[in-house]
Amino acid sequence: MIFNSLPFFVFIGIFLPLYFSLKGKARLLLTLAGSYFFYGWWDYRFLSLIVISTLIDYIVGLELGKTQDKKKRKNLLLTSMIVNLGFLAFFKYFNFFIASFVVMLEGMGVDPSMSSLKIILPVGISFYTFQSMSYTIDVYFKKIEIEKDFIRFATFISFFPQLVAGPIVRAADFLPQFKNDRTFHWDRFTSGVGQVLWGFFKKVAVADSLAPFVDQCFAAPGGFSSLHLLIGVVFYSFQIYCDFSGYSDIAIGLARIMGFKFPDNFRTPYFSQNFSEFWTRWHISLSSWLRDYLYIPLGGNRGGSFGSIFFIVLFMFLMVLLSGWWWLALLNFVMIGAAYYYARQGATEKATLFNYMNLMVTMLLGGLWHGASWAFVFWGFLHGMYLVVQRLVGPYWNKLLNTLRIPNIIQTGLAILIVYVCTCYAWIYFRAPNFEIANQVIAGITSLEQFNVGSIVNKFWVLKGAILIGALLFVEITDFRFHYSRLIVANPTFRVVSFAIILWFLAFFGTYGSNSFIYFQF
Amino acid sequence: MKKLYWIFALLLLFFVGDRIGGYLLHQLTVKSQFRYSRMYQGKAASDILLIGNSRGLTFYQPYIEEITGKKTFNLSYNGMPINLAKLLVQDYLALYEKPALAIIDVTMCDRLNEPLISGFSLYSPYSENLSKYLIDSLPTTGYAGLLSHLYRYNSEVFQRSLFYLNKSDEDWLLDRTINEHLIQDVGNQEPKIDVMPFELAELQATINLLEAAGVKVQLVISPYYPPYVDRLTNLPVMKAKIEKATGKKVKDYAKGITDVKAFGDYQHLNKYGSKRYLDQLQQDGILPK
C-alpha cells in the first residue's frame, strides 16, 4: 500500500479512530496488525521475511540478556547479522553478484554458463533490516535495554508509517515511546497533519510532476538539446529530494499524529555549503546509521582497521576485473604505493590516510545499499571522492577566498553552488539506467549545442516544474525565518490558511495515478 | 467544539477558494483561442474537419484553407485516442452545421490515453458526453472534478489553453528538421503499432456518426520518416484490420514523402513537409480543389 493511493486513505480512515479508541496492549496489537496489513497489501508472502527477522532479533536480544560470555554473545550477534544480511544479500544482491561474477570470468577468458534467478525485491527490505540490526548491535554493546515484550518489539520493526522507506529509527529512540500510551493530543495532531500535507505536496505535486520530463530525458538523451538535458538533471535533483523527503514527511507526520516523535530525515540538503554538511542534511537516518555502525567501527577519524584496507582493496580488485581496464591495476598499484609512502611519514599522516579510506568505504557501501548496481557504487564513490577532496583542498580553498577578500555572501553562494553542481553530477549516474546513458547525458549537456529556450521539448512541463520548485524553495527559505511548523500549532488562522493553500496546490498541480515512491526499490 | 470550528473553517476556505479559483480559470478558458475553447464557444464552424493525434497536427489548417478556399477545423491533439475523438466529434456535430468532409488519420487508433481524457475535464461543463464519460469510465477523475473545480484545470490541456490565450493555435506544428542523431539512430528503433477491437469499434462509431450527419469521411495514414516506416513492420497489418472493420479504403501515405527536410522527427512532418503532403492530398482528390 502506498501513501498516495485510495486504499491507504481508506485504511488510515479506519485505523486512526480505532487506534485512539483503544489502549495498552490492544492498541499495540492493532498497530502491529495494521502494519502487517499495510505491508501485506503489496505482497503478503514477504511478510514472512519481516516475521523471521523479527523473531531472530527478538530471540537474539533475549539470549544476549542472559549471558555475559563474550564468545557466546559474539556468536549471537553473528547469527543476527548472518540472517539479516543473508536475506538482504539473497533478495537484493544475488543476481547482481552472479552477473558481476559472470562478467569477471568473461574478462578472464572463461566462458561461464550461469543463469540468474527471478527474484522479486521485497519492498523496504533495506530499511527494516537496518532497523532490526541496529537493535541487536546496540543490545550487544549494552547501549540499550533488552525488549522482552514480543508484540512491542515486532511493532517497532514493522511500524507501518516508516516500514518501507524509512526513516530508519533506532531502537533507543523508538522502543521507549511504546511504553507509554500515546493519548490524542490536538497540537500534535495538527502539527502531524501539517507535515503529512507538506509531504504530499512534495510527492504528489512536485516529484510526480517533474517525473515525466526526467523520464523522457533519461530514456533517450541523444534526441534532446543541451539545455533540455540540463533542466532534466536539475529536475531530477528535485524529484528525488521531494519524492524521498516527501515520504519521510508523511511518515514522520503520521507517527506524530499517533503520538510518536521521529527525528528529521532531511534538512534542506541543497543549501549545504560542503559535502560533510550535505550528509548531515540528506537521508539523515541512513547517514547516521552508516556513521555509527560502519564508519566509526572502521576507525572513523582516528585510525584504521583491517576492514578499511580489506574493503578498499576489494573494490580496487573488482573495479579492474569488471571494467576489464587492466591499466587500472597499474594505477591502483601506484595509488597503494603512494598511500604506503604517505602513511610512513608519521602517525598523523597514517591516521589521515585511514580516515580517507574509511570515508570511501562508508560511501561505497552506502551506494551499494541503494541498489544492486555498479552505478550506485559509482555514485557512492563520487560522494566518497567529494568528501576526500574537500578535506584535502578545503583549507587551501578557504585561504584563497580570504586572500582575495571575497565577501561572505558570495563565498556562501559559491559553496552552495559547487556542492549542488557536484551532487547533480552524481545524481546523473544514480538515475541513468546504465553508464552509457549517463555519459550521453553528460556529453549532451557539456556540448552546449542548442543552448536556447526554443530547443526545449514540452515547455509546459518545464513551466509547471519551475513554478512548483519555486514554491518549494520559497517555503524552505522562508521557513528559516518563520518556522512554519511552530506557527501551524500556535496560530489557528495561519494553520487554516496554510492547509487550504496546500490543498489548492494539490488539486491544481497534483499528479494522480498512484505513482510509487523511488526509494521503495531500495 | 472550537476544534470542530477549525475543521469547518478549513473546509469552508478550501471550497470557497476552490470555486473562486475554478471560476477565474474558467473565464481564461473561455477567452482562449485554443481549438477546443473555440469549438465550445461556437467559433469553429467549418467545411473540413480534421481528426488525429500529434500526427494529425500535420494537417496544417492555414495552408488547407489557402489551397482549398474552405473553412477548416483541426480537432487533433498530441496522443488523442479515438474514443476521445468520438466524444469531440459528437459535440462538434451537435454544435455546428455539418461539414462537407472529415479526414481521419487512422494511426491515432493505436493507443488509449485515459490521462488525456482526464485532462479534457476542463471542458466537461460544456459537454454532457464528456461529463458522462468521465463519471462512467474514469469515476475518480469525474467525481474529483465535481468535488474540486481547480482539479478540472490540472492538466496540460489547460496549460495549452493558457498558452493560446491571446494567439491562434492554428500554427501548432513542428518547425524544425529531424536531427542528425535521430537519422543515425533509426536502425536501432523497433517501433510497433497495432489496433485493438475496442479501438476499431470506436473508429467505426466515429465514422457512423459523421456519415449519419451526411459528412464524407476519408481515412488516411500520414507520412512517416521513410527509414522509420521500414521498421514499422506491422503497419500494413493495422491498415488491413481497419479496412476490414470499417469497410473503407485507407489511403496510405506512410511513405508518401521522401525528402528528409520534410520531417521534424520520425513520426511528424514539419511545416514544409506538411505543405508537400497537403498538396499530394489535393492532387489525389482527398482535399477539394
Rounded percentage of chain A residues whose pLDDT exceeds 90: 44
What pLDDT sits at residue A118? Answer: 64
Quick check: A12 pLDDT over 90? yes
**Judging by DSSP bridges, how do beta strands B72-74 and B48-51 pair with one another?**
parallel
Closest to A222 (Cβ–Cβ): which among B154, B160, B185? B185
Quick check: A32 pLDDT over 90? yes
pLDDT digits (tens, 9 = 90+) for B111-125: 888 888 999 999 998
Grid coordinates given for A6: 485510495
User: Using the beta-carbon criterion (under 8 Å), do A496 and B10 form an inter-chain contact?
Assistant: yes
CA nearest A494 in B: which residue? B10
What pLDDT sits at residue B182? Answer: 85
Chain B residues with CB-CB distance to A512 below 8 A: 140, 144
B94 Cα to chain A: minimum distance (Å): 31
Closest to B150 (Cβ–Cβ): which among A6, A496, A508? A508
Pairs of CB atoms within 8 A across A/B: 51
At B160, phi and psi to the nearest 5?
A: -65, -40
Chain A residues with CB-CB distance to B153 below 8 A: 508
Catalytic residue among A185, A228, A283, A370: A370
First-to-last CA distance in chain A? 16
Rounded percentage of chain B residues whose pLDDT exceeds 70: 100
User: Using the beta-carbon criterion (under 8 Å), do A497 and B13 form an inter-chain contact?
Assistant: yes
**Helix boundaries (H) for A324-458:** 327-343, 347-370, 374-403, 408-431, 435-447
User: Using the beta-carbon criterion (under 8 Å), do A460 and B156 form an inter-chain contact?
Assistant: yes
pLDDT digits (tens, 9 = 90+) for A436-482: 899 999 999 998 877 777 777 778 889 999 999 999 999 999 988 88
CA nearest B175 in A: which residue? A454
Q: Can you give the C-alpha Rg of chain B in angstroms?
A: 21
* CA–CA dist A429, A440 (Å, integer): 11
What pLDDT sits at residue B2? Answer: 73
B142-171: average pLDDT: 90
| B185 touching A (Cβ < 8 Å) | yes
Chain A residues with CB-CB distance to B10 below 8 A: 496, 499-500
A411-416: average pLDDT: 92
* CA–CA dist B68, B88 (Å, integer): 24
Q: What is the ipTM, given to two decimal places?
A: 0.82
* CA–CA dist B273, B260 (Å, integer): 9
| B189 touching A (Cβ < 8 Å) | no
**What CATH number has the domain spanning B12-283?**
3.40.50.1110
Chain B residues with CB-CB distance to A460 below 8 A: 156, 159-160, 163
Sorted by sequence, the CB contacts under 8 Å of residue A231 that are 6+ apart come out as A213, A217, A456, A462, A465
* CA–CA dist A367, A378 (Å, integer): 7
Q: Which of A43-52, A129-138, B12-21 has the highest mean pLDDT?
A: B12-21
pLDDT digits (tens, 9 = 90+) for A132-186: 889 999 999 888 989 999 999 999 999 999 888 778 898 888 988 988 777 888 8
Residue B102: beta bridge partners? B49, B217
What pLDDT sits at residue A202? Answer: 96
Residue A173 burial class via C-beta count within 10 angstroms: exposed 0-12, middle 13-18, buried 19 and up: middle
* CA–CA dist B142, A286 (Å, integer): 41
Average pLDDT, chain A: 87
Listed in order, strand segments (DSSP E) in B113-237 are: 216-221
A401-429: average pLDDT: 92
| B3 touching A (Cβ < 8 Å) | yes
User: Using the beta-carbon criterion (under 8 Å), do B18 and A222 form an inter-chain contact?
Assistant: no
CA B37: distance to chain centroid?
A: 13
What pLDDT sits at residue B21? Answer: 96
Quick check: B68 pLDDT over 80? yes
Between A417 and A298, the higher pLDDT residue:
A417
* CA–CA dist A123, A44 (Å, integer): 11
CB atoms under 10 Å from CB of A475, counted, come to 17
CA nearest A450 in B: which residue? B179
A244: confidence class by pLDDT, cuts 50, 70, 90: very high
Task: Select from B178, B288, B170 the least CA-distant residue to B223.
Answer: B178
B1: confidence class by pLDDT, cuts 50, 70, 90: low
A302-320: average pLDDT: 79
Chain A residues with CB-CB distance to B160 below 8 A: 460
Residues of A with CB under 8 A from a CB of B: 6, 186, 222-223, 460-461, 463-464, 492, 495-497, 499-500, 503-504, 507-510, 512-513
Q: Which of B24, B155, B169, B179 to mutate to test the interface with A (most CBs of A within 10 A)?
A: B179
What pLDDT sits at residue A69? Answer: 87
CA nearest B179 in A: which residue? A223
User: Using the beta-carbon criterion (under 8 Å), do A496 and B154 form an inter-chain contact?
Assistant: no
pLDDT digits (tens, 9 = 90+) for A87-120: 888 877 777 777 776 766 676 666 666 555 566 6
Quick check: A434 pLDDT over 80? yes
What pLDDT sits at residue A518? Answer: 60
| B163 touching A (Cβ < 8 Å) | yes
pLDDT digits (tens, 9 = 90+) for A356-373: 888 998 999 899 888 778
* CA–CA dist B237, A363 (Å, integer): 53
Chain A residues with CB-CB distance to B6 below 8 A: 492, 495-496
Task: Select from A421, A370, A471 the least CA-distant residue to A233.
Answer: A421
What pLDDT sits at residue B122? Answer: 92
Chain A residues with CB-CB distance to B265 below 8 A: 223
Rounded percentage of chain A residues whose pLDDT exceeds 70: 93
Chain A residues with CB-CB distance to B140 below 8 A: 6, 512
| B13 touching A (Cβ < 8 Å) | yes
Q: Which of A455, A457, A496 to mutate to test the interface with B (most CBs of B within 10 A)?
A: A496
What pLDDT sits at residue A89? Answer: 82
What pLDDT sits at residue A304? Answer: 75
What pLDDT sits at residue A324? Answer: 67
The three-state secondary structure class of B52 is: coil
Residue A391 burial class via C-beta count within 10 angstroms: exposed 0-12, middle 13-18, buried 19 and up: middle
| B188 touching A (Cβ < 8 Å) | no
Q: Is A370 a catalytic residue?
A: yes
User: Using the beta-carbon criterion (under 8 Å), do A496 and B156 form an inter-chain contact?
Assistant: no
Average pLDDT, chain B: 92
pLDDT digits (tens, 9 = 90+) for A254-264: 999 999 999 89
Grid coordinates given for B267: 513520426
A121: confidence class by pLDDT, cuts 50, 70, 90: low
Closest to A509 (Cβ–Cβ): which among B6, B154, B160? B154
A211 Cα to chain B: minimum distance (Å): 14
Are the beta carbons of B68 and B288 closer than 8 angstroms?
A: yes
CA nearest B2 in A: which residue? A492
User: Using the beta-carbon criterion (under 8 Å), do B159 and A464 form an inter-chain contact?
Assistant: yes
Task: Select from A166, A119, A216 the least CA-distant residue to A431.
Answer: A216
pLDDT digits (tens, 9 = 90+) for B29-40: 999 999 999 999
CA nearest A205 in B: which residue? B154
Quick check: A322 pLDDT over 90? no
CA nearest B16 in A: which residue? A500
CA nearest B154 in A: which residue? A508
Q: Can you give the C-alpha Rg of chain A in angstroms?
A: 24
Quick check: A58 pLDDT over 70? yes
